[in-house]
Structure 1
Protein backbone atom coordinates (compact mmCIF):
# COMPACT_ATOMS: atom_id res chain seq x y z
CA UNK A 1 0.00 0.00 0.00
CA UNK A 2 1.35 3.37 -1.02
CA UNK A 3 0.68 6.41 1.19
CA UNK A 4 0.35 9.79 -0.48
CA UNK A 5 1.03 12.86 1.65
CA UNK A 6 0.81 16.64 1.26
CA UNK A 7 1.86 19.36 3.71
CA UNK A 8 -0.07 22.64 3.70
CA UNK A 9 0.10 25.98 5.44
CA UNK A 10 -3.16 26.79 7.21
CA UNK A 11 -4.20 29.41 4.69
CA UNK A 12 -7.20 29.54 2.37
CA UNK A 13 -4.76 30.24 -0.48
CA UNK A 14 -3.64 26.60 -0.19
CA UNK A 15 -7.06 25.24 -1.20
CA UNK A 16 -6.37 25.20 -4.98
CA UNK A 17 -3.11 23.32 -4.35
CA UNK A 18 -5.00 20.79 -2.20
CA UNK A 19 -7.65 20.26 -4.90
CA UNK A 20 -5.03 19.82 -7.64
CA UNK A 21 -3.06 17.34 -5.52
CA UNK A 22 -6.14 15.21 -4.79
CA UNK A 23 -7.04 15.19 -8.47
CA UNK A 24 -3.48 14.13 -9.36
CA UNK A 25 -3.77 11.18 -6.95
CA UNK A 26 -7.04 9.91 -8.47
CA UNK A 27 -5.62 7.79 -11.32
CA UNK A 28 -3.19 5.94 -9.07
CA UNK A 29 -5.95 5.16 -6.59
CA UNK A 30 -8.47 4.12 -9.22
CA UNK A 31 -10.93 6.74 -7.98
CA UNK A 32 -14.15 7.21 -9.88
CA UNK A 33 -15.72 10.63 -10.38
CA UNK A 34 -18.04 10.26 -7.40
CA UNK A 35 -15.25 9.22 -5.03
CA UNK A 36 -12.99 12.02 -6.26
CA UNK A 37 -15.78 14.55 -5.76
CA UNK A 38 -16.53 13.24 -2.26
CA UNK A 39 -12.88 13.36 -1.19
CA UNK A 40 -12.34 16.84 -2.59
CA UNK A 41 -15.52 18.21 -1.01
CA UNK A 42 -14.75 16.66 2.39
CA UNK A 43 -11.14 17.82 2.40
CA UNK A 44 -12.13 21.32 1.37
CA UNK A 45 -14.61 21.51 4.25
CA UNK A 46 -12.33 20.00 6.89
CA UNK A 47 -9.25 22.03 5.94
CA UNK A 48 -11.25 25.26 5.58
CA UNK A 49 -12.68 24.67 9.07
CA UNK A 50 -9.16 24.31 10.43
CA UNK A 51 -7.99 27.48 8.71
CA UNK A 52 -11.02 29.51 9.80
CA UNK A 53 -11.81 28.11 13.25
CA UNK A 54 -8.87 26.25 14.82
CA UNK A 55 -6.60 28.13 17.17
CA UNK A 56 -2.84 27.72 16.79
CA UNK A 57 -1.16 25.99 19.71
CA UNK A 58 1.27 28.15 21.68
CA UNK A 59 1.16 31.02 19.19
CA UNK A 60 2.60 28.95 16.34
CA UNK A 61 1.08 28.71 12.90
CA UNK A 62 -0.96 25.67 11.95
CA UNK A 63 0.45 23.10 9.58
CA UNK A 64 -1.84 20.59 7.93
CA UNK A 65 -0.86 17.17 6.61
CA UNK A 66 -3.20 15.29 4.29
CA UNK A 67 -2.64 11.56 3.83
CA UNK A 68 -4.51 9.26 1.46
CA UNK A 69 -4.35 5.50 1.96
CA UNK A 70 -6.08 2.83 -0.04
CA UNK A 71 -7.78 -0.45 0.88
CA UNK A 72 -9.98 0.73 2.53
CA UNK A 73 -9.87 4.26 1.19
CA UNK A 74 -8.96 6.59 4.06
CA UNK A 75 -8.06 10.25 4.13
CA UNK A 76 -6.39 11.62 7.24
CA UNK A 77 -5.98 15.30 8.05
CA UNK A 78 -3.47 16.09 10.78
CA UNK A 79 -2.69 19.47 12.29
CA UNK A 80 -0.77 21.02 15.15
CA UNK A 81 -3.47 23.42 16.36
CA UNK A 82 -5.18 23.24 19.73
CA UNK A 83 -7.55 20.24 19.92
CA UNK A 84 -10.50 20.83 17.57
CA UNK A 85 -12.83 17.86 17.12
CA UNK A 86 -14.90 18.47 14.01
CA UNK A 87 -16.81 15.23 14.63
CA UNK A 88 -18.25 16.68 17.86
CA UNK A 89 -19.84 19.68 16.17
CA UNK A 90 -23.59 19.24 15.77
CA UNK A 91 -24.79 19.68 12.19
CA UNK A 92 -26.56 22.96 11.56
CA UNK A 93 -30.28 22.77 11.02
CA UNK A 94 -31.37 23.86 7.55
CA UNK A 95 -33.24 27.16 7.38
CA UNK A 96 -37.00 26.90 7.36
CA UNK A 97 -37.36 29.59 4.67
CA UNK A 98 -35.17 31.01 1.95
CA UNK A 99 -35.27 34.41 3.66
CA UNK A 100 -33.92 32.88 6.88
CA UNK A 101 -31.09 31.03 5.12
CA UNK A 102 -27.55 32.08 5.97
CA UNK A 103 -24.42 31.04 4.07
CA UNK A 104 -22.24 28.38 5.65
CA UNK A 105 -22.74 25.91 8.44
CA UNK A 106 -23.82 22.86 6.42
CA UNK A 107 -20.43 21.55 5.33
CA UNK A 108 -19.95 19.07 8.16
CA UNK A 109 -23.32 17.53 7.29
CA UNK A 110 -21.97 16.94 3.79
CA UNK A 111 -18.81 15.37 5.23
CA UNK A 112 -20.99 12.99 7.28
CA UNK A 113 -23.09 12.16 4.20
CA UNK A 114 -20.09 11.36 1.97
CA UNK A 115 -18.05 9.32 4.46
CA UNK A 116 -18.67 5.93 6.02
CA UNK A 117 -16.70 6.73 9.20
CA UNK A 118 -15.02 9.69 10.90
CA UNK A 119 -12.56 9.28 13.76
CA UNK A 120 -10.83 12.08 15.68
CA UNK A 121 -8.02 11.93 18.19
CA UNK A 122 -5.56 14.36 19.73
CA UNK A 123 -2.19 13.13 20.98
CA UNK A 124 1.19 14.71 21.68
CA UNK A 125 0.24 18.10 20.23
CA UNK A 126 -1.20 16.68 16.98
CA UNK A 127 -4.83 16.33 15.98
CA UNK A 128 -5.87 13.61 13.56
CA UNK A 129 -9.17 13.34 11.72
CA UNK A 130 -9.57 10.17 9.67
CA UNK A 131 -12.31 10.00 7.05
CA UNK A 132 -13.23 6.65 5.54
CA UNK A 133 -14.90 6.36 2.12
CA UNK A 134 -16.72 3.42 0.57
Structure 2
Protein backbone atom coordinates (compact mmCIF):
# COMPACT_ATOMS: atom_id res chain seq x y z
CA UNK A 1 0.00 0.00 0.00
CA UNK A 2 1.55 3.34 -1.10
CA UNK A 3 1.63 6.51 0.89
CA UNK A 4 -1.28 8.87 0.50
CA UNK A 5 -0.28 12.26 -0.90
CA UNK A 6 -3.52 14.25 -0.60
CA UNK A 7 -5.81 14.37 2.39
CA UNK A 8 -9.39 15.52 2.79
CA UNK A 9 -9.16 17.15 6.21
CA UNK A 10 -12.52 17.66 7.93
CA UNK A 11 -13.66 21.26 8.33
CA UNK A 12 -13.50 21.15 12.13
CA UNK A 13 -9.88 19.99 11.96
CA UNK A 14 -8.97 22.83 9.57
CA UNK A 15 -10.72 25.25 11.94
CA UNK A 16 -8.81 23.79 14.91
CA UNK A 17 -5.54 24.31 12.97
CA UNK A 18 -6.49 27.94 12.29
CA UNK A 19 -7.25 28.39 16.00
CA UNK A 20 -3.86 26.90 16.88
CA UNK A 21 -2.09 29.28 14.50
CA UNK A 22 -4.02 32.24 15.94
CA UNK A 23 -3.14 31.17 19.50
CA UNK A 24 0.55 30.84 18.61
CA UNK A 25 0.52 34.21 16.85
CA UNK A 26 -1.13 35.89 19.86
CA UNK A 27 1.43 34.45 22.28
CA UNK A 28 4.33 35.35 19.97
CA UNK A 29 3.03 38.94 19.77
CA UNK A 30 2.78 39.09 23.57
CA UNK A 31 6.30 37.73 24.04
CA UNK A 32 7.71 40.18 21.49
CA UNK A 33 6.41 43.12 23.56
CA UNK A 34 7.08 41.70 27.04
CA UNK A 35 10.36 42.32 28.86
CA UNK A 36 13.14 39.93 27.88
CA UNK A 37 13.29 38.20 31.26
CA UNK A 38 10.33 36.76 33.18
CA UNK A 39 12.21 37.47 36.44
CA UNK A 40 14.18 40.63 37.15
CA UNK A 41 17.92 40.38 36.41
CA UNK A 42 20.41 42.39 38.47
CA UNK A 43 23.20 44.43 36.96
CA UNK A 44 26.12 42.18 36.10
CA UNK A 45 29.67 42.42 34.78
CA UNK A 46 30.81 40.14 31.96
CA UNK A 47 34.24 38.50 31.89
CA UNK A 48 35.49 41.17 29.47
CA UNK A 49 34.56 43.94 31.95
CA UNK A 50 31.38 45.05 30.15
CA UNK A 51 28.66 46.08 32.58
CA UNK A 52 25.21 44.85 31.62
CA UNK A 53 22.48 46.99 33.21
CA UNK A 54 19.72 45.51 35.35
CA UNK A 55 16.62 44.43 33.44
CA UNK A 56 13.06 44.39 34.75
CA UNK A 57 11.09 41.20 34.90
CA UNK A 58 7.43 40.67 34.16
CA UNK A 59 4.79 42.09 36.45
CA UNK A 60 1.98 39.87 37.77
CA UNK A 61 -0.39 40.89 34.95
CA UNK A 62 2.17 39.79 32.36
CA UNK A 63 2.66 36.45 34.13
CA UNK A 64 -1.12 35.91 34.14
CA UNK A 65 -1.44 36.90 30.48
CA UNK A 66 1.36 34.51 29.51
CA UNK A 67 -0.30 31.67 31.44
CA UNK A 68 -3.65 32.42 29.76
CA UNK A 69 -2.10 32.51 26.27
CA UNK A 70 0.00 29.40 26.92
CA UNK A 71 -3.04 27.47 28.15
CA UNK A 72 -5.01 28.51 25.06
CA UNK A 73 -2.14 27.43 22.80
CA UNK A 74 -1.83 24.06 24.56
CA UNK A 75 -5.59 23.42 24.34
CA UNK A 76 -5.61 24.29 20.64
CA UNK A 77 -2.61 22.00 20.00
CA UNK A 78 -4.33 19.16 21.83
CA UNK A 79 -7.50 19.67 19.76
CA UNK A 80 -5.48 19.29 16.54
CA UNK A 81 -3.36 16.39 17.78
CA UNK A 82 -6.23 14.38 19.31
CA UNK A 83 -8.68 14.86 16.41
CA UNK A 84 -10.28 11.54 15.34
CA UNK A 85 -9.16 12.08 11.72
CA UNK A 86 -5.60 11.31 12.82
CA UNK A 87 -6.61 7.83 14.00
CA UNK A 88 -8.36 7.10 10.70
CA UNK A 89 -5.04 7.31 8.83
CA UNK A 90 -2.40 4.60 8.52
CA UNK A 91 0.51 5.31 10.86
CA UNK A 92 2.88 6.03 7.93
CA UNK A 93 0.61 8.79 6.57
CA UNK A 94 0.09 10.78 9.79
CA UNK A 95 3.19 12.97 9.50
CA UNK A 96 2.46 13.79 5.86
CA UNK A 97 -1.18 14.57 6.70
CA UNK A 98 -0.10 16.89 9.52
CA UNK A 99 2.36 18.66 7.22
CA UNK A 100 -0.34 18.94 4.58
CA UNK A 101 -2.71 20.47 7.14
CA UNK A 102 -0.22 23.08 8.36
CA UNK A 103 0.64 24.10 4.79
CA UNK A 104 -2.93 24.22 3.52
CA UNK A 105 -3.88 27.31 1.49
CA UNK A 106 -5.16 30.23 3.52
CA UNK A 107 -8.87 31.13 3.58
CA UNK A 108 -9.89 33.05 0.47
CA UNK A 109 -7.14 31.42 -1.59
CA UNK A 110 -4.36 33.69 -0.28
CA UNK A 111 -0.93 32.05 -0.19
CA UNK A 112 2.49 33.31 0.63
CA UNK A 113 4.24 34.51 -2.49
CA UNK A 114 7.80 34.27 -1.21
CA UNK A 115 9.36 32.80 1.90
CA UNK A 116 12.80 33.39 3.36
CA UNK A 117 14.96 30.64 4.82
CA UNK A 118 18.46 31.55 5.88
CA UNK A 119 18.51 34.61 3.65
CA UNK A 120 17.68 32.56 0.56
CA UNK A 121 14.47 33.41 -1.25
CA UNK A 122 12.06 30.52 -1.68
CA UNK A 123 9.19 30.09 -4.09
CA UNK A 124 6.18 27.91 -3.19
CA UNK A 125 5.81 24.88 -5.43
CA UNK A 126 2.65 22.94 -4.76
CA UNK A 127 2.54 22.60 -0.99
CA UNK A 128 6.31 22.79 -0.52
CA UNK A 129 8.90 25.53 -0.86
CA UNK A 130 12.02 25.12 -2.92
CA UNK A 131 15.16 27.17 -2.58
CA UNK A 132 15.89 29.58 -5.36
CA UNK A 133 19.45 30.74 -5.85
CA UNK A 134 19.90 34.50 -5.58
CA UNK A 135 19.93 36.21 -8.92
CA UNK A 136 23.44 36.99 -10.08
CA UNK A 137 24.11 39.77 -12.55
CA UNK A 138 24.95 38.54 -16.00
CA UNK A 139 28.63 38.62 -16.85
CA UNK A 140 29.54 41.23 -19.47
CA UNK A 141 30.12 39.83 -22.91
CA UNK A 142 33.72 40.09 -24.03
TM-score calculated relative to the size of structure 2? 0.28
Q: Which has the higher contact order (CA 8 A, sep 6+)?
A: 1
* Between structures 1 and 2, the one with greater strand share: 1
TM-score normalised by L of structure 1: 0.29
Q: Which has the larger helix fraction?
A: 2
